[in-house]
Structure 1
């Protein structure tokens, strides 16, 4: 054992220095407060510090296998000479990597890399490492001896304790992170605004399609189609990807335009599940066709289940001076249609669950055997789940509806779910609604605007 003294401002600092310099094997024996410094080495103005006395196990210098301790070690192809403290360590390599990283970092304004390099340097400087030097001798000769010698040295330079091992491991990890970041930066070079790594550029668009409830297989097909439609260079430009994807979505959206007047009289029936806003939607279109376009419009309701809905429609009809008829059965329905002189007769139906086939068949019976131009429009809410939409389209498909109105667009950020199902059933979209105000909150559907609504969240 050998004894040493360490001075510090307090006992904790002294212990920290002891552990950092000599590891856990160092044994503190005693400590006392002493005066240090002072005016002309006197005790005047001297500073009180802690003097820690500790015992440290002496380490023998490294000796090669079969080598006499009284003889100097024989030099192999590569001979490593350590400093007088005889504390060899791998941190020399760390120092070399840090110096190379520091030389490169000035070329790039990357705050995260600068911070990592500075942190690693600070930690490296706080850990007293021995200096390792190497003399290079005839590298081509004695290959096997060299490998043995290097293996022996690696064994000898292992950290002496858990504290030192942890410090070395952490620094090596930080340096590896720096190297990885620098390699990525060097490979990617400096990118212009709007450009990115190819896969990274497509990520927000994949997420946007999934958020809009497009089927996973459909998402992959659409992304693949976009990649095939633009060059490899354009695949790194998110704005060109957006334009290509928007054009693809537009090509899948079919619109039918506004309700058109028939040769004689036109009958328009609004069908769909409960709570999607059929009555309000019909009132909006009634106001537009009668008040704005000057057509003769009349209302028919066959909703005998919801008294409130019937009263609401009567109130709209009164304000707009539109005749309204409350129908009880199919015969009454046909009689009113034959006698009505309006250009467009709008029919409000009671909401029916897509699981109730009997009630849907009941609504269908009103539309059967009518001689006039008959248009059936399915109203669905934009915030309906994809699974329910599939069932709704499937259930009402027996009525052979002509187009779709997407309601309550203002209540959700994603309408791709309806667009995707309508595309699968080859049904055009005629209108979409985005509020309760009559008649303003309804719009004629066009593929450009709908595609914008679908894709607007991809870059935001």
Structure 2
């Protein structure tokens, strides 16, 4: 049995070619809609692919329009042979288009091979190029959503490329909610490999660091309340924030409300004494001073007061109201200290949440908590990848 593949604009054209080449006794084995051509994987033309077969033993196969084929000569179907030399397309396989076999048992393997080849879709080029692309409307809406939340260009480009590839691979009948779900899953893939959620309490010392005004002390009180109420652990406070007026009094107020001990440290010696006094506590939470993050000496001062050689988990507290560039600079300044994860504060004071995704991807760090207000202990939630992504891609 000879099996031949044809690619044509529509079924009538395919049938005309099949009859002309294989004769009226040819049978259709398989047909499907495919997309070919285009530019960088876009703007492909809708065609139909047909597999037809003929038994060579049939005596009345008319071949008047074609010269007799030589032995082992491969006949290429129309459209395929019009492809420019030395070019390859995922939609146009390089396998022989005429297959001579003993029977139709060869057909399933051929169909499987063709289907696998046609599943590849080429993504289009860099969005920053000068080429004007006609992006499908649902994907444009996703792009608008990403831009609204100030998602970094490199992340946005990757997502849109993947979305366009999926769009053309899926073919017809793709709905807007499907595209948004694809975007949601792609963003989840970007961040899910990092650590998320509440601190494990596997380490005795929990240290929060960050610039001034991000809400470190209030956040520390929220974490302490959750540990006491949910985990039934005993907690102690250490503060090294001796610079800010009223900082010690603020933490003393929280310590009184939560009924936990508090130690104030001005030096490494004070820190060592404080840890001895609080050694019976299950968890010791350390509040550090918030100062100008642009001053490297601040980070050096921190390392002169807090013993980071201890078994310690360090959380960098960042405000979502800050500029992306400032957040990146803050991370760079504090990266002299080993940072385990982020805490993002002031979610309720902004409508743009892309900075969370941007920092996770660029810094390769996860998120422990997100705070949503000033109330202690209520306005804090443990971070999860889906929680963050849903702030960006709103899927019903």
- Please confirm whether the aligned pair reaches a TM-score higher than 0.5, indicating the same fold: yes
Q: Please say if 1:303 is aligned against 2:255.
A: no
Q: Please say if 1:418 is aligned against 2:337.
A: no
Whether the 8 Å CA contact 1:407–1:433 is kept in 2: the answer is: yes
Q: Please say if 1:217 is aligned against 2:168.
A: no
Q: Which residue of 441, 449, 455 corresponds with 2:379?
A: 441
d(CA) in 2 for partners of 1:255, 1:226: 26
Cα deviations by residue, 1:84-111 (Å, 9 ceiling, x for unpaired): xxxxxxxxxxxxxxxxxxxxxxxxxxxx
With 436-445 and 209-218 compared, the bigger mean Cα shift is at 209-218
- 1:397 is displaced (CA, Å) by 1.0
Give 1:58-207 correspondences, 5 Å limit: 199-207=136-144
Whether the 8 Å CA contact 1:272–1:278 is kept in 2: the answer is: yes
SS of 1:399 mapped into structure 2: coil
Residue 257 of structure 1 is matched in structure 2 by 197
Whether the 8 Å CA contact 1:432–1:444 is kept in 2: the answer is: yes
Residue 190 of structure 1 is matched in structure 2 by none
Structure 1 outlier segments of 4+, above 6 Å: none
Residue 287 of structure 2 is matched in structure 1 by 348
TM-score of the two chains, using structure 1 as the length reference:
0.54
Structure 2: 5+ residue runs without aligned partners?
Answer: 1-133
Cα deviations by residue, 1:132-189 (Å, 9 ceiling, x for unpaired): xxxxxxxxxxxxxxxxxxxxxxxxxxxxxxxxxxxxxxxxxxxxxxxxxxxxxxxxxx
Whether the 8 Å CA contact 1:255–1:447 is kept in 2: the answer is: no
Q: Please say if 1:364 is aligned against 2:306.
A: no
SS of 2:214 mapped into structure 1: coil
Residue 318 of structure 1 is matched in structure 2 by 256
Cα deviations by residue, 1:346-394 (Å, 9 ceiling, x for unpaired): 01111122211001111133344533x2011000011211111111111
Change in 2 beyond 3 A, CA 1:306/1:413: same
Residue 245 of structure 1 is matched in structure 2 by 183
Cα deviations by residue, 1:390-419 (Å, 9 ceiling, x for unpaired): 111111111121000011111112211122
Change in 2 beyond 3 A, CA 1:337/1:234: farther
Change in 2 beyond 3 A, CA 1:444/1:300: same
Cα deviations by residue, 1:266-310 (Å, 9 ceiling, x for unpaired): 101110111111000000011111133210100111000113222
d(CA) in 2 for partners of 1:307, 1:292: 32
Residue 339 of structure 2 is matched in structure 1 by 401
Whether the 8 Å CA contact 1:235–1:241 is kept in 2: the answer is: no
Structure with larger RCO (C-alpha < 8 A, sep 6+) = 2
Whether the 8 Å CA contact 2:211–2:293 is kept in 1: the answer is: yes
* RMSD, matched Cα: 2.0
With 381-390 and 253-262 compared, the bigger mean Cα shift is at 253-262
Whether the 8 Å CA contact 1:269–1:377 is kept in 2: the answer is: yes
Q: Which residue of 370, 374, 380 corresponds with 2:318?
A: 380
Give 1:331-346 correspondences, 5 Å limit: 331-340=269-278, 341-346=280-285
SS of 1:350 mapped into structure 2: coil
Relative to its length, the structure with more helix (as a share) is 1
Residue 327 of structure 2 is matched in structure 1 by 389
Cα deviations by residue, 1:70-90 (Å, 9 ceiling, x for unpaired): xxxxxxxxxxxxxxxxxxxxx
Whether the 8 Å CA contact 1:300–1:325 is kept in 2: the answer is: yes
Residue 19 of structure 2 is matched in structure 1 by none
Change in 2 beyond 3 A, CA 1:298/1:391: same
Q: Which residue of 164, 167, 170 corresponds with 1:227?
A: 164
Whether the 8 Å CA contact 1:234–1:240 is kept in 2: the answer is: no
Cα deviations by residue, 1:190-241 (Å, 9 ceiling, x for unpaired): xxxxxxx952221121122122222223312211022224534368521111
With 405-414 and 361-370 compared, the bigger mean Cα shift is at 361-370
Change in 2 beyond 3 A, CA 1:308/1:333: same
Residue 112 of structure 2 is matched in structure 1 by none
Whether the 8 Å CA contact 1:334–1:370 is kept in 2: the answer is: no
Cα deviations by residue, 1:401-444 (Å, 9 ceiling, x for unpaired): 10000111111122111221222111111110101111011011
SS of 2:336 mapped into structure 1: helix
